[in-house]
Amino acid sequence: MASRCLGKIGSRAASRLFSSKQASLWTPSSASLVQRKLIHTSPSVGSNKGPEGAPPQRFISGTGHIVYFLVITAIVLSYPSYLFYNMDSIKTRVPKNLGEGVKEEIERRKELRAQGAMPVLQMTDK
């Protein structure tokens, strides 16, 4: 009888909710009450405890709001700031040494620039 009244919820949930004595009092009109009770007591719906975890903001003064904001901002920015401050100790820097071929090319281009023979300088002179 419980499964006929509940429809989508099923008799297993109804049997958990009511014992055999209460099953005799089961009526189709009470099925909607049970459905609502099952929906509101399910763990997925009741897992959001946000409003209960923090005090209502209307009871906090203006100064309290500013302090609250600054504390949250400090908490959020503390870890990235710590990482940037200690970047060298976390990973050592790689020495910036250029290869011999690259150094020779830089010297060759410096000489060409000094002579005015760089192709880029020749195009801009025209």
DSSP 7: T
pTM over 0.75? The answer is no
Q: What is the pLDDT of residue 78?
A: 95
Q: Are 18 and 26 in contact (CB under 8 A)?
A: yes
CA distance 17 to 73: 46
Q: What percent of the chain has pLDDT over 90?
A: 20
With tokens 């060759």, the residue in question is: 108
Q: Are 8 and 32 in contact (CB under 8 A)?
A: no
